[in-house]
Amino acid sequence: MAPPNPFDIASEGIRTLRAFGQRIPGAGDVLARSLKDAVSGRTVMITGASSGIGRAAALEIGEAGGTMLLVARRKDQLQEVADEIEGLGGTAYVHTADLSDTDDIDRMCREVLAQHESVDVLVNNAGKSIRRSVDRAYERFHDYQRTMQLNYFAAVKLILALLPTMRERGNGHIVNISTIGLQMNTPRFSAYVASKAALDAFSRSIGPEIIDDGVHITTVYMPLVRTPMIAPTKIYDRFPTLSPKDAGHMIAEAIRKRPKRMATTLGTIGQLSYAIAPGAQDLVVNRAYHLIPEGDQKQPAHEPTPEERAFVRATRGVHW
């Protein structure tokens, strides 16, 4: 048996130190590669790529040199995004799938692996949100089933289908788009937050199993973004929100830096406050619950009070 090559040992050591360093808060900005270096020649799948955050991320990553696999239900909308990417000098492929149908996910993944051999980066971006107090959901168990199906089971199904080739190749990255609501325990989103919490727990559990195979998992706790998903809730028309382009940039940065998690400062403070004083946080959030109206699918009849406006500005990005 040949003795180990010192250059191979040194190279592996440098890769290990760099990967470890990127997980130290603040160090990722210094040690991470450029987006072009991170995605050039790599295959990146984004679900929910036909509009909003997914579209914006696909355009930025595609322009940087990633080979984009665009996934959603509407072929015509996906083709428009693919044409935009190619107009920017990138490469994109359209793969339609109904992510609420596990059989269709299987079909799409077989198609992708047959055509592209592997997926280097999987971005689980597609999602469904429901804003409804629990006392209005007593007879709506289907809300929880549908949300869990798309936000949790679909993402897990994709991971289980694409993870084996990542591990075999010794390289891969899974980016899960979660929500600041999971950090702030926002009311009226029990179906949505629970589904994102399930995916977070799944990812945190498998993370230690796959890290030595070169596969990394990043969770992005996304703040409120002005996308078609929030459009029906008219109360958000007066909330400060992130633009889809800025949100897409967060995903690009997650791919570039490969951190364990990405969050806003407010989201991190919320998570810390709940760890330290959960009862006190409940009281604060309860005040927000009573301050911000239910809204439903129409503009609330009253004008926002000064207290409501101040609270919304102070908690920018939280979907109350």
CA 1 from chain centre, in angstroms, equals: 46
Copy the structure tokens of residue 298: 């129409």
Q: Where are the beta strands (DSSP E) in 109-223?
A: 121-124, 172-179, 215-222
Length of the chain equals: 320
Tell me, yes or no, if 192 is annotated catalytic. yes
Question: Distance (Å, rounded) from C-alpha 189 to C-alpha 306?
Answer: 25
Question: Distance (Å, rounded) from C-alpha 12 to C-alpha 18?
Answer: 10
Question: Distance (Å, rounded) from C-alpha 132 to C-alpha 298?
Answer: 13
φ, ψ dihedrals at 177, nearest 5°: -90, 110
Question: Distance (Å, rounded) from C-alpha 61 to C-alpha 243?
Answer: 17
Question: Distance (Å, rounded) from C-alpha 167 to C-alpha 113?
Answer: 14
Please give the single-letter amino acid code of residue 73. R
Question: Distance (Å, rounded) from C-alpha 306 to C-alpha 287?
Answer: 15
Q: Where are the beta strands (DSSP E) in the chain?
A: 43-47, 67-72, 91-96, 121-124, 172-179, 215-222, 261-263
Work out the angle at residue 123's Cα, subtended by the Cα atoms of residues 122 and 127, and round it to the nearest 5 degrees: 135
CB 158 within 8 A of CB 124: yes
Please give the single-letter amino acid code of residue 21. G
CB 112 within 8 A of CB 87: no
Question: Distance (Å, rounded) from C-alpha 58 to C-alpha 290?
Answer: 38
- Annotated catalytic residue: which of 152, 192, 221, 236? 192
Catalytic residue numbers read 192
